[in-house]
Amino acid sequence: MTNKETDGYNEKYLYTKEEKIKCFGECEWVDEPDAVSFKHQGFDCKVLRMHFKDGPNHIFGGFLNGYVRIPKDHVYYKKEYDDIECEVHGGLTYCQAELDGWWIGFDCAHTFDIVPSMELLYAHDEDMIKIRAKYPFSSVWKRSYKNINFVIEECKKLAEQMHNASL
C-alpha cells in the first residue's frame, strides 16, 4: 500500500496493478488510487474502491463509492438517506455512524455503471459473448465506468448540497 498527498487530496493505493488486473481486468482503474480523502466546503469527503469476496474463486467489485461526513450540528446528522434531499449519482445508498462521525454516500454499481469484476467475468463467459454478438446495439451494453475523477466531483457536489442545507 502506498500513500500520496497531492493538492489536499490524500491518495492511497491499496492494491497492486497486478492484483487489480487479476481481479478486475485491465482498464483505467488499474492506475487509479483505491482511496482518496479530502475536504470540500468544510466537509470531510472520501472515495473508496469496493470489493467483496463472492465465493472461493471470485471477487465482486472494483467500482468506487463516494462519502461525505455530516457534522453533529447539521440538519441531516443521523438522518436516513431517504430523508436527505440531494442529487448525486444513483441517489444516496449509504448512511451510517462510524468512529469519526455520521457518513452518507453513494455507489457506482448501478445498472448502467461498469463494475470492473463483472466486465472481466463477461469477457470470458461464452454465453455472454454470444449474447453480445447477437445483440450488439442493445442499450444494456451502453454502460460507463465512473472513474476516480467522476466520483470526486460527485462527492464535491454532495458536500456543496450539504453545505447549502446547513445555511
What is the tens place of the pLDDT at every residue in 140-156? Answer: 667 899 999 999 999 99
Give the β-pairing of 35-40 and 43-53. Answer: antiparallel
User: What is the pLDDT averaged over residues 14-27?
Assistant: 91
pLDDT band at 44 (very low <50, low <70, confident <90, very high): very high
Question: Given this model, what pLDDT does residue 108 score?
Answer: 97
Contact between 163 and 41 (Cβ < 8 Å):
yes
Q: What are the pLDDT digits (tens) for 51-93? A: 887 666 667 899 999 999 999 999 999 999 999 999 999 999 9
Pick the more confident residue, 128 or 72. 72
Question: Given this model, what pLDDT does residue 120 score?
Answer: 76
**Residue 124, pLDDT above cutoff 80:** no
Contact between 41 and 70 (Cβ < 8 Å):
no
Contacts of residue 76, Cβ cutoff 8 Å, sequence gap at least 6: 70, 83, 84, 104, 162, 165
For residues 39, 49, 5 and 77, what is the CA-based torsion angle, rounded to 10 degrees? 20
CB atoms within 10 A of CB 40: 19
User: What is the percentage of the chain residues whose pLDDT exceeds 90?
Assistant: 63
